[in-house]
Amino acid sequence: MPKKNSIDAIYQPILPYLTRVQRNIRREIRVENKTVSKIVDYLFQTKGKLLRPALAIFAGKAVAGLEDESTDEALVQLATAIELIHNASLVHDDILDDAGLRREIPTLNKIYNNHVALLAGDVLFTEAFYLMTHHLRQEIIEPITKITSGMCQGELINELYPGDNLDFSTYLTVITLKTAGLMSGATQAGAKVFGAPQVVVDALGEYGRNVGLAYQIVDDYVDDETGSIEGFSLDYAFKAAESARESLKVLSPSIYKDKLLDIVDLFIEMAVQKDMSATVKLP
């Protein structure tokens, strides 16, 4: 039994969808060359948190006006593309960070080299766009394209501040682009797949953006990566979490809406737990 409010407990109602997404990743990336195929298999031997696809699925199911097999299939394709873009960005992020491990296995940049990792990341994100052009409407693909460009811009801005010595406002710009954008794109697109009215799409987009901000701020705080950020404020994560909860008021009650609220609580709990463990630490 997963712990209450653990990520596994939250995902329970959408597990069949997440399983389909994982299967779909390997089905959609059809690379003929065996060497390249082995690299793709290597990257997907461990699954990540699947947070972005889960956000797309929860958002879609929470509005679920037009529920049928074809919308469900489009939702799985969307969630797959979003997970591929996210994985591509991590492969590139590991080059930038010169990281040796990702999801507890050695990174491509360490096993091979930066050139191989760069190109493998390119394969993943171009495959994601190929998949989207095949399965999704243009009104869904277009914003995701801009968001992906934004992710690159966010990392580019970050690179201009050696040692991550940036001020809080620049930090917010960076994390809005590199993290909150894709989460907001996931929730908006999930809602669009199910034909949600614009006001609901916008509200879910705001939810995704604020969840992304809260998540990244808490993650950086828990990983002790915020010391060099001038004017850093953990409170901003709490405010973003509150705005995320507020945005969900447009939705009718459902198990999916409850889980979107649980995701917000989970990230905030992570920050609180870190603070609690800090207070009991012996000198």
Residue where the block lists tokens 């501040």: 161
Window 79 to 98, contacts with Mg ion (CB under 5 A): 93, 97
Nearer to ligand FPP, 85 or 248 (CB): 85
| Residue burial 78-95, b: 16+ Cβ < 10 Å; e: rest | bbbbbbbbbbbbbbbbbb
Cα distance from N-terminal residue to C-terminal residue, the chain = 37
Min CB(250)–ligand FPP separation in Å: 27
Q: Quote the CA–CA distance of 147 and 180 in Å, as a whole number.
A: 9
Query: What span, in angstroms and rounded, lies between the C-alpha atoms of 108 and 120?
Result: 8
Contact track, Mg ion, 95-114, x by CB under 5 A? --x-----------------
If DSSP states are collapsed to H, E and C, what string results for 93-159?
HHHHHCCCEECCEECHHHHCCHHHHHHHHHHHHHHHHHHHHHHCCHHHHHHHHHHHHHHHHHHHHHH
In the complex, the smallest distance separating the C-beta of residue 164 from Mg ion, rounded to whole angstroms, is 10
- Asked whether the beta carbons of 140 and 117 are under 8 A apart, the reply is no
Site string for Mg ion, 168-197 (x = CB under 5 A): ------------------------------
Nearest residue (CB) to ligand FPP, 86 versus 257: 86
84 vs 248, beta carbon nearer ligand FPP: 84
Q: How far apart are CB 72 and ligand FPP at their closest, in Å?
A: 26
Report the distance separating Cα 185 and Cα 201, nearest Å: 10
Beta strands per DSSP E along the chain: 101-102, 105-106
**Residue (196 or 218) nearer to ligand FPP, CB:** 218
Binding region for ligand FPP (CB under 6 A): 85, 88-90, 92-93, 96-97, 121, 125, 148, 151-152, 155, 178-179
Shortest gap between Cβ of 97 and Mg ion (angstroms)? 4
Cβ proximity to Mg ion, 179 vs 247, nearer residue: 179
**Shortest Cβ 42–ligand FPP spacing (Å):** 18
125 interface partner picked from Mg ion, ligand FPP, none, CB below 5 to 8 A per type: ligand FPP
Q: Which residues bind Mg ion (CB under 5 A)?
A: 93, 97
